[in-house]
Amino acid sequence: MESALRTVTVSLGTRSYPVYIGEDILSRVGGWLQESHRRGQAAIITDDAVEALYGSPVAASLKVAGYNVSTHVVKRGEKSKSLASVERLAESLAQAGVDRHGSIVAVGGGVIGDLAGFVAAVYYRGIPYVQVPTTIMAQVDSSVGGKTAVNLSAGKNLVGSFHQPLVVVADTATLKTLGQREWNEGFAEVIKYGVIRDRTLLEELAQSETPPIAELVQRCLEIKAAIVAGDERETLGLRALLNFGHTLGHGIEAAAGYGNMLHGEAVSLGMVAAAWLSVRRAGLPPEEFVQLRQLLAKFQLPTQLPQTCSKQKILQSASADKKFLGGQIRFVLTPRLGTAMVADSVMKEDLELALDALAESHS
């Protein structure tokens, strides 16, 4: 049943934590934080749009659990994911009296989760935090795994830290207030999980008009939890599989200007490019490339590079990406939908050809 509480565990020894997935569970945030044996002040970090919708119920839950609560708000959008925002939030936390015994509660989408998580990682050299993701993108992906970061003009997520949350609370009722564009962008990450690990998921998405969202969140997070448990800091190559579509996707997002193209939209384009390269470098059957592109289009995600995106800027931003080591590209390809691999055979010239193909009309 959609309303049943689902739990996924991220197994990291003494730093293991649960992810709770269900409908109308914001009232339990305080209790779950309390169960982690945290006391002290609870500081909510959110954006102005989410605060108006969900700030009060989360604050009420924390107060019922006995916490002193302060709320710290940034402007909605990718532009808030910056070092300037980190400084402003840290000053605000200090003024509110949050000390090393306090906790941060990140309420919002991927921008807030990354930003608040990074603030938690560096404030007082690190304090605990809770993720309360309110978008599909954040619920199926970014809220879990401990990657926190902010952007630089040179590229996305270039300043960050690994800092795992205490608990993740994914209330699927919050997804009802998403706009259509934000709803659709989340399915870029859902589709990514199907490409790298679960071909059946892709087939079900292609056939379903109303995907069961709680089940999708659980299935995606089970894949991510297993990968994170096996390669938490991306040193073994396993976690790199989660970057399918992201190498060029991050470059496209930066070239378009942060906030002009949603993260999931850029990842959609990155996946089309990665699949095109997979046909040429990994033996992906051309019909599976077409299937992937059609599935992305079903969720109104872009499959053609806008003319306004400079290929030179995309490659420049991509070259600054963390997936480039000593100039060598760690590029994720899919030999068959449902499996993925990290390849070292992809050259800069291949990326240029992929962008050329991505810019061509598919009509």
CA angle 307, 340, 17 (to 5 degrees): 100
HEC string for the chain: CCCCCEEEEECCHHHCEEEEEECCCHHHHHHHHHHCCCCCCEEEEEEHHHHHHHHHHHHHHHHHCCCCEEEEEECCCHHHCCHHHHHHHHHHHHHCCCCCCCEEEEEECHHHHHHHHHHHHHHHHCCCEEEEECCHHHHHHHCCCCEEEEEECCEEEEEEEECCCCEEEEEHHHHHHCCHHHHHHHHHHHHHHHHHHCHHHHHHHHHCCCCCHHHHHHHHHHHHHHHHHHCCCCCCCCHHHHHCCHHHHHHHHHHHCECCECHHHHHHHHHHHHHHHHHHHCCCCHHHHHHHHHHHHHCCCCCCCCCCCCHHHHHHHHHCCCCEECCEECEEECCCCCCCEEECCCCHHHHHHHHHHHHCCCC
How many whole angstroms separate alpha carbon 204 and alpha carbon 186? 16
At 330, which amino acid appears? Answer: R
Amino acid identity, residue 115? Answer: L
Measured CA to CA, the distance from residue 283 to residue 324 in angstroms comes to 23
CB 132 within 8 A of CB 58: yes
Q: What is the CA radius of gyration of the chain?
A: 20
- CA separation for the pair 141, 155 (Å, rounded): 20
| Residues known to be catalytic | 125, 147, 189, 224, 234, 239, 243, 246, 250, 263
